[in-house]
Every structure is written in C-alpha cells, then in structure tokens.
Amino acid sequence: MTSQTAADTLTSDQLRELVLDALEDFKATDIQQIDVSGQNPLTDVFVIASGNSTRHIKSMAENLVLKVKAAGCPPLGVEGQRQAEWVLVDLNDVIVHLMLPKTRAFYNLEKLWEASRERRSTAGRPA
C-alpha cells in the first residue's frame, strides 16, 4: 500500500495557496508565511495564523483539514486540537500553525526563524 502525498496531487505552491485561501475564508488573522526551504528538512513553508478563541482555532483546523482532504492531500497529522491554543496541521510541504494571539506572542515563531536565518547567513563569514 502506498501513501499519497501532496506532491501526488498539488504542487507546494498550489497547496500553500489552498491553505491561505482556507484560512482567509475562515477569518484567520495575521496570516504569515515563512519560507524554510533549505533550512528545515521537514517542510518548505510554515504558515502561521491567529484565531480569536479556541473554538475559532478548532473550526479553522477542521475547515482546513476538510479542504485539503477534498483536494486529495490528507494531512500527515493534526496536533493540539484538544486544548486548541496551538493547533499544528502537518501537510508535509506546508506546516500550518494556528494559535491564540497570547500563545503566538509567547513562542514568537516568526522571530525564531528570522534569527535562525540570520545566524546561518552570517556563519562562515570572516569576523
């Protein structure tokens, strides 16, 4: 039995656009994309978005899962739906983080990846 991946049905860019459209349709706020291709062996893009309540985040995650499944790209996994302060939807080429604003501010993934990118770009340069 073979497992179907997003690459079998949609390109990474098409999958990313599908994710962004689904999040916009469900009124996600502060949607950000972080290109981690070449920096992270697990994925190419992180999409981070906020919801205004745990119920909103759960609904966004459920809506996203339905849309990607309908497009033939079932998620590899969905984590955090019980608490729903931070739900991660793993779509292989795109990993989606849906977070409450306070959780997002605490973990600050955008700044973490920006700092990581800067560190790698200065590595190997003479001081």
Q: How far apart are CA 8 and CA 4, in angstroms?
A: 6
- Which of 35, 43, 36, 38 lies closest to 89, judged by CA? 43
Instruction: Report residue 126's pLDDT band, with 50, 70 and 90 as the boundaries.
Output: low
Q: Are 75 and 3 in contact (CB under 8 A)?
A: no
Q: Centre a 10 Å sphere on the Cβ of residue 72 and count the other Cβ atoms it contains.
A: 12
Average pLDDT, the chain: 84
pLDDT tens digits for 27-73? 999 999 988 777 666 777 899 999 999 999 999 999 999 999 999 99
60-89: average pLDDT: 95
What's the gap between Cα 48 and its chain centre?
5
Ordered structural domains, the chain, with CATH: 8-118 (3.30.460.10)
pTM for this predicted structure: 0.81
